[in-house]
Amino acid sequence: MNDEIASKLEHLREYVIILKGYQHHQIEELQADHTLKGAVERYLEIALECTIDIGEMIISREKLKRPESYQEVFLILGEQGILPKNFAIKFAPSAGFRNRLVHMYAKIDIGKLHYYLQNNIGDIEQFGKYIAQYLIKRG
């Protein structure tokens, strides 16, 4: 399973690099360019989906309590010390943003999308670093 998690982490790193490449765009550009907006939405969606998948894989591997929601995936990782607890609490709402991207795509608030792009990509990147540390410790 380490190989699967490592592969997902590599994909996550790629998505973070791509998303960072979009950070220089202003909100007006996202509004005017539907291709750009769609790319940002999609890469955010798959990056967040990747974090959830990784979390679920670790929960399964460690035989931890089964999460009842995607947000709970991160909270369980925090409770178990796989993620720092304060980071897990801060990061858990990202699952809700992922749900909005997936299920409410026609109603995505451009301001929230731009804000998330500008302010939360570092958290996705940090999640990957914490998981990489966990993999090294776990072996």
Topology of domain 2-138 in CATH is Four Helix Bundle (Hemerythrin (Met), subunit A) (1.20.120)
pLDDT of amino acid 47: 97
Cβ neighbors of 94 (< 8 A, separation 6 or more) are: 48, 51, 74, 120, 123, 124
Residue spans of the domains in the chain: they are 2-138
Greater model confidence, 110 or 138: 110
Q: How far is CA 24 from CA 1, 16, 91, 94, in A?
A: 36, 14, 23, 21
Task: Write the pLDDT tens digit of every residue in 81-97.
Answer: 999 999 999 999 999 88
Task: Write the pLDDT tens digit of every residue in 17-37.
Answer: 999 999 999 999 999 999 999
pTM of the entire predicted model: 0.93
